[in-house]
Structure 1
Amino acid sequence: MSALAHDLPSVAINAKRIALISAAAIALGVLLSGFVINEPAPYELYMAGLIAIWGLFGLRLSRSVTPLLVLLIVFNIGGMISMSQMSDLMSTPLYLAVSLFLALTSVFFAAVTETRPGLYRVIFPAYVTAAVATSMLGILGYFHAFPGAEMFTKYERAAGAFQDPNVFGPFLTLPGIYLLYRVLTGRPAKMLLYAVPLLIIVGGIFFSFSRGAWGLFGASSVLLTIGLFLQSSSGAFRLRIVVMSIAAFVFLALALLIALQIPSVSDLFTVRAQLAQDYDSARLGRFARYGIGFLLAMEKPFGIGPLVFGQIYGEDTHNIWLKTLLDYGWLGFASYLILILWTVAAGFRILFRDRPWQPYLLCAYVVFLGHIALGTVIDTDHWRHFYLLLGLIWGAIGLEYRHQHAARAGRTALV
């Protein structure tokens, strides 16, 4: 009996130690997602090892997460079939290997958050930290604040520790929306704690001069405000949301006006704020290529091979739906469409339920909806944070399933 009493504390201590180490490992992986200057990036190498180790020591896939895995695997099988249509494979096997790896990261994040919902409280602050750090690099690079700072820009636009401003900006949206949620709903005493990093992240989004990122953050902010307004029946809370939203809008508008006083910022903003650029509306511009691509896809049910469209027409599809048709074939397109519709429907069904993880789900969900719209004008296929978004939402779907199952089991036991 005394031996058992002596063993229990050590078992509890070891379990706590393992939980802390695993949480730190997840946080480090999310932190690394903000630094993708070269490929393969540290994120890929680290996450590959982390998933392998976690798999050896008890990564469990529940029935509710399995559809995510199946749909993503079918999606990648479509890519392999499409590759078989190519006469010259070039670097396509590596491209598809990255696609499959990113799919596995999505399943991994879904599985671990479903098993341990407390990891949401680890993932989001880690994401905010990465976003603030890479935003600072992008802003400092844009203003050439130190020698060599230009490495954090591209096309005279802030890119942070990313290769492309058009990926850098959307990457910042989820942490920005999470901080906006905290500003709108948190205690006034902590408002400055969230407002300062929010301003840095919004600055990164602005100086990326990515029209897609601007629209994504704006639309996600509106959806978040609507979601908060709908989920509460308290008149006082709704009034607060309205007042805080107006205050946040005015504050950001003033910050924008101050930034536009800088001539170089004003000139580039004027150019980028135009709805259609020359490369959009040219004879073989982005919009014309959409029609050409969809006609080609109707003739090629197995696809034409990943990245082949860009080699033929000089530019990639810049449309995720067209890309899935051409690079992953009709099979890949069908699985991707089902995945998106399933995620939207299942996420919306549980969106306003009072759960500890509901704030994280709400933030991820509104940003995910924005990415779906953004995908119509840009290719989101290999965006690491998009797969993280998928994993966070499916983790919440799995958690709700477990919650309902436990509630039914409790009622049965009482009977």
Structure 2
Amino acid sequence: MASAAPRRVSSGSLHTLGYALLALVIFFTCFTFMKPSPYDFLALPTIALWFLLGIRFYRSTIVIVALLLIYLVAIVIALIPYLDESNSVDWTYQAVYLGLTGIFFVMFFSDDTSDRVGFVLKAYLAGALFAAICGIFSYFDVLGEDVLFKMDGRASGVFQDPNLLGSFLILSVLYLIRRMLVGETRQVFLSAMALLVLLACVFLSFSRGSWGACLLGICLTIGLTWATSPSRAIRRRIARLSALTVLVGALLIGGLLSMEGVSERFTDRAQVTKDYDEGETGRFGNQRRGIPMLIDRPLGFGPLRWRVVFDLEPHNSYIGSFANGGWLGGFAFVSIVLTSIFVGFRLCLKPSPYQGLAQIVFPALLMFFLQAFQIDIEKWRHLYMMLGMVWGLEAARVRWVFRQRSTT
């Protein structure tokens, strides 16, 4: 009996360390300008520690784990003819590493699900606010031109790509909006100010994909929350706050557009297509030429070799998955998307203790899947975190349903 207390203390200390390390990992997700980044240094020991602490695999997640493994195996097989090409090898290492982090997140979020997802969303919000502030500072050159990234007059901050910055912020935008809609936050003013910072940075990233994804994600989260709310009072609150959000958002955009240079950049970026999209050798032209070539190549072009053929990235993760991993990798990626969409909508629409969290996470993940038609998302670290959240929520929901049936 005397040794039990020290073991409990030790276990508690390790759990505290595990959560502290995980918070840092999630926060540093936004540090893409450093290679390797603090995320990469911290992720492996954090994952190892949580496996030591004990995370479990549930049968309800076998589909996503199997599909991720198939996707990774397909990429490795497609790499074999190009083992002498360092870029392809490095890209494959990174893809396998990120895919395995996805499996870790699935397992991690499958237990203590509400607490763990809530904890990570808070850590992610901290990182998103940091990234947004840096992005705004970079746009207005607050710290000088050489301190933070700014690409083609667009806010990038700690990201090298403004498109990635804008999309990175969407999850936290939805998190803040839903918490305010249903009254889950007592600090409404601070939440509103944080939301304005995030929305301002999304706008200043001048990413057309991020604009559309953010707007559609907000509409989906609000719509799902309203449709599944059992209370008329909450529905009225949602309607009022939604109208207020639209008004404040319009005022924010109007204020930003009144600033020198912003309206010109907005007009330029608001075009549906740009010069690099059009023509036979543009993005869409390359895709039209590449698809028939991929049909004739079961192993695709090999990892990161679309650029060797066309001098550009595919800017379409669905085409890219077939190019990088062949038919097997492509169908595995598409299956990951389709099964996750099915599970996500079920989580959002069927009553359970996890419905509210799903209505934050899944719309953001769905927006990434839609953006995958016009950008390469398979190397986004937070994609795998969100994938793990959705399937972890599903694992928890399945166990909850089983318990409900067992007691009736």
> TM class, shorter-chain normalised?
over 0.9
* Cα RMSD (Å): 1.9
> 2:161 is matched with which residue?
164
- Give runs of aligned pairs for residues 367-386 of structure 1, distance below 5 A: 367-386=364-383
Residues 135 and 201, structure 1, Cα contact 8 Å, conserved in 2: yes
**Structure 2 vs 1, CA of residues 404 and 189 (structure 1 numbering), >3 Å: closer, same or farther?**
closer
**Structure 2 vs 1, CA of residues 87 and 193 (structure 1 numbering), >3 Å: closer, same or farther?**
closer
Q: Provide the C-alpha distance between the structure 2 equivalents of 1:13 and 1:89, rounded to a whole number of angstroms.
A: 50
Residues 135 and 200, structure 1, Cα contact 8 Å, conserved in 2: yes
Q: Provide the C-alpha distance between the structure 1 equivalents of 2:195 and 2:31, rounded to a whole number of angstroms.
A: 19
> 2:357 is matched with which residue?
360
**Structure 2 vs 1, CA of residues 408 and 189 (structure 1 numbering), >3 Å: closer, same or farther?**
closer
C-alpha deviations, 1:216-250, integer Å up to 9, x for none?
A: 10010010111011101322222221111110011
Deviation at 1:189, TM superposition (A): 5.1
> 1:99 is matched with which residue?
95
**Comparing 104-113 and 141-150, the one that deviates more:** 141-150
> 2:303 is matched with which residue?
306
Residues 303 and 328, structure 1, Cα contact 8 Å, conserved in 2: yes
Q: Provide the C-alpha distance between the structure 1 equivalents of 2:148 and 2:347, rounded to a whole number of angstroms.
A: 43
Residue identity in the other structure for 1:67: V
Secondary structure of 1:274's match?
A: coil
Q: Provide the C-alpha distance between the structure 1 equivalents of 2:84 and 2:335, rounded to a whole number of angstroms.
A: 31
Deviation at 1:282, TM superposition (A): 2.7
Residues 135 and 201, structure 2, Cα contact 8 Å, conserved in 1: yes
Deviation at 1:313, TM superposition (A): 1.4
Query: When the two structures are aligned, how many residues end up with a matched partner?
Result: 407
Answering whether residue 76 of structure 2 is matched by residue 80 of structure 1, we say yes
> 2:107 is matched with which residue?
111
Deviation at 1:10, TM superposition (A): 5.2
Q: Provide the C-alpha distance between the structure 2 equivalents of 1:44 and 1:59, rounded to a whole number of angstroms.
A: 21
Deviation at 1:105, TM superposition (A): 1.3
- Give runs of aligned pairs for residues 57-72 of structure 1, distance below 5 A: 57-72=53-68
- Give runs of aligned pairs for residues 127-276 of structure 1, distance below 5 A: 127-148=124-145, 150-186=147-183, 190-276=187-273
Residue identity in the other structure for 1:196: M
Deviation at 1:199, TM superposition (A): 0.8
**Structure 2 vs 1, CA of residues 230 and 20 (structure 1 numbering), >3 Å: closer, same or farther?**
same
**Structure 2 vs 1, CA of residues 188 and 367 (structure 1 numbering), >3 Å: closer, same or farther?**
closer
Match of 1:126 among 123, 128, 137: 123
Q: Provide the C-alpha distance between the structure 2 equivalents of 1:212 and 1:150, rounded to a whole number of angstroms.
A: 26
Residues 85 and 303, structure 1, Cα contact 8 Å, conserved in 2: no
Secondary structure of 2:312's match?
A: coil
Answering whether residue 386 of structure 2 is matched by residue 389 of structure 1, we say yes
Deviation at 1:359, TM superposition (A): 2.1
Deviation at 1:57, TM superposition (A): 3.8
Match of 2:38 among 42, 63, 66: 42
**Structure 2 vs 1, CA of residues 327 and 108 (structure 1 numbering), >3 Å: closer, same or farther?**
same
TM-score, structure 1 length as denominator? 0.93
Q: Provide the C-alpha distance between the structure 1 equivalents of 2:307 and 2:69, rounded to a whole number of angstroms.
A: 24
Secondary structure of 1:396's match?
A: helix
Answering whether residue 37 of structure 2 is matched by residue 20 of structure 1, we say no
> 1:287 is matched with which residue?
284
TM-score, structure 2 length as denominator? 0.94
Q: Provide the C-alpha distance between the structure 2 equivalents of 1:204 and 1:327, rounded to a whole number of angstroms.
A: 32
Residue identity in the other structure for 1:376: F
Gaps of 5+ in 2: none
Residue identity in the other structure for 1:398: A
**Structure 2 vs 1, CA of residues 352 and 15 (structure 1 numbering), >3 Å: closer, same or farther?**
farther
Q: Provide the C-alpha distance between the structure 1 equivalents of 2:300 and 2:339, rounded to a whole number of angstroms.
A: 24
Match of 2:317 among 320, 324, 342: 320
C-alpha deviations, 1:336-357, integer Å up to 9, x for none?
A: 1111111111222232344443
Q: Provide the C-alpha distance between the structure 2 equivalents of 1:304 and 1:142, rounded to a whole number of angstroms.
A: 38
Gaps of 5+ in 1: none
